[in-house]
Structure 1
Amino acid sequence: MSDNAQVLPKAKKSVALSGVAAGNTALCTVGRSGNDLHYRGYDIKDLATKATFEEVAHLLVHEHLPTWAELNAYRAKLKRLRGLPQPVKAALELLPAATHPMDVMRTGCSVLGTVLPEAHDHNVTGARDIADRLMASFGSMLLYWFHFSHNGRRIEVETDDETIAAHFLHLLHGKAPSELHANALDKSLVLYAEHEFNASTFTARVIAGTGSDFYSAITGAIGALRGPKHGGANEVAMEIISRYRTPDEAGADMRRRVEAKEIVIGFGHPVYTIGDPRNPIIKEISRRLCTEGGNPRLFEVSERIENVMMELK
């Protein structure tokens, strides 16, 4: 069979504790039909094509899709929350340039929780405000640290960009992003905004269940997300793709690794027994970025790896 042949994914095997309820959530359902994902009842395919991340964030945090007036007010609120208190900046300036970005976010979250702590009664309104502040300021934390640690620059983290995605890219590159790049990041944020009872969410719920504060729960969740068997798998997958100069080289090496019984990160999922519904969406975004950016190699290599793995696994 050719490496370029279209191969349907094979059903995945059940794992230990499959079907055992760990808790209840109204936020998200995953894999009920084998390849579906819903946020508060809305199909991820519809949200990814028709909604912005700010609309999805409002849906998840404030329990409903916003009206046009609510969306404008929410965007204005998130804009106001992009700034960083001076103690947070001071802490970020102490982190070395070699610090992992997830560690930067974990540290920034923890410090912010000491500067602007949650109320002792853990009221719902306050918790939602903290969630909004963290979403608005995580990019500010990461890019303030990046520019200071790498270039010695104390950047201004507040911009007039309408979206969290555009704000992040503006801080990263020092100029307003193209519509293509801002839209790509926005859709990625939508696709990975929520995933039911994954390891980081479970960690956050355990911490919150002890009566601890919101910031502690998110700090712990970031620690779980950092792991190579959770969010860190994306990083490993990118390292794999970057190894190869051509699709043929990638295809041949993947076949060798599978025959040698090596574990290849990024393939197979215990919940999506048929396939991850986010994959076709992010794949098309990746194709556009690589093609319109004039460097299709990464996409072509990743697509060859995908086809080989689907054929052999």
Structure 2
Amino acid sequence: MLGGTREARDLAAALVAEQGMDVVSSLAGRVRDPALPAGETVIGGFGGVGGLRVFLRDRAIDVVVDATHPFAARMSAHAVAACAAPSPASDEAGGTHAGSTHSSGAHSSGAHSGGAHSGGAWAGGAGSAVPLLRLARPGWQARPGDDWRRVGDLAAAADRARELCPPGGAVFVTTGRRELAPFAADPDRHYLIRAVDPPTDTLPSRHTVLLDRGPYTVEGETRLLREHDIRVLVTKDSGGTLTVAKLDAARTVGVPVVMVDRPAAAGPAPRTWPDAAGILTALRELAAGHTAESPPNSGSSRRQ
């Protein structure tokens, strides 16, 4: 399982409880103190497509579940490439993909006692494709009373935030600790930046960093917006319920939202389900020798 999300942890817990299923979850290692899922955990990445393909082969992985964050587009693309049947040239002892965002020195932890599940019953043997399932929580949709401005990336989000927030006002940025440079060039506004770990990018000259981790409440988010006199909220369309309270609070207070759209898939999309329950059913069907069918309109977005 390519994890790092709440849905991935929920699915790992359910799978560990299943008889005959060994679960190995991969985390990128970008969070200092991540919430670890049930089963074995590999932290630090694989070194790109080639490294992931070697890992799948060496551990005799039967099926891969991509349950990464909706904005982890590169890792999802790597999963598609690694799970595809390799060409003879790409199957040579695991060349490293140049665009990898992961380091090669992965290490593991957890209760798993060693060797991977040895059955190999779901895949077709050496040189064949590995089944890939995608767990993608639906994105958010605006509700009556919301004032959202959708943009394609963080640079556009920074521009739109400056348009909406007058000089001297405050902008609440909840897009994570990376890619904050687009906001750094603005000396005229104050930026409240919330992240799990300290930011690693260049920050605006006027800023406050709030280190916190969800879930959040509508009451708490409403109080935060009012205490800091927030004029604009900037967020990614992550979906799910863990951080949705900020959107409800913004509607209550009347704060406009700059919403960064999810990146488009770089290649063919794998079979996709919107929740852990659907993936669990699909895995049971695969284990029983049936073809897992993704639900209709599984990629649709709705507010949760």
- Work out whether the TM-score is over 0.5: no
Whichever structure has more helix as a proportion of its residues is: 1
TM-score normalised to structure 2 length: 0.25
